[in-house]
Amino acid sequence: MKMKVCRKAHFNAAHRLYRKDWSDEKNFQVFGKCSNPLYHGHNYELIVGVIGDIDPETGFLIDLKIVKQYIKEEVEIPFDHKNLNEEVAEFKNLNPTTENIAIVIWNKLRNKIPAKYDIEVTLYETPRNFVIYSGGTN
């Protein structure tokens, strides 16, 4: 029986959305307040969904303690209270939009969570703005 189990997590991080090849004015036109050259923070809320079959022996789909540990190692420790542009290698040359952060998190967790499971990353940048990524290429 297929089901999705979810683990919620949280991190605070600073970012700036901008293109180096654009002026500050153009960056402000496109990215608004998120282009502030001196950075600003968000309280990111993360929901990691793991989709798979329930193990009839345990009644578990996956042990959420393991998912919790992967989120800690792959997301909370490297991202929490960090400046994403300056301190996180994945964003040296990648704009840290909610979309791109979700893809980076998905790829990091995909390398940890066994391949028999599908995974889905939901990332809230604000209580009203969020993205969902489940690994599709189109």
Interacting residues with Ni ion (CB under 5 A): 34
Smallest separation, CB 42 to Ni ion (Å): 5
Q: Does the annotation mark 99 as catalytic? A: no
Q: Does the annotation mark 6 as catalytic? A: no
Q: Count Cβ atoms below 10 Å from residue 11 Cβ, excluding itself.
A: 22
Q: Does the annotation mark 125 as catalytic? A: yes
**Nearest residue to Ni ion, by Cβ distance, number only:** 34
Burial class (CB in 10 A: 0-12, 13-18, 19+), 20: exposed
Smallest separation, CB 74 to Ni ion (Å): 22
Residue 65 has φ and ψ, to the nearest 5°, of -60, -35
Smallest separation, CB 34 to Ni ion (Å): 3
Residue 8 has φ and ψ, to the nearest 5°, of -95, 145
Extract the tokens encoding 26: 């153009």
By beta-carbon proximity to Ni ion, the closer residue of 17 and 119 is: 17
By beta-carbon proximity to Ni ion, the closer residue of 34 and 67 is: 34
Tell me the catalytic residues: 34, 81, 125
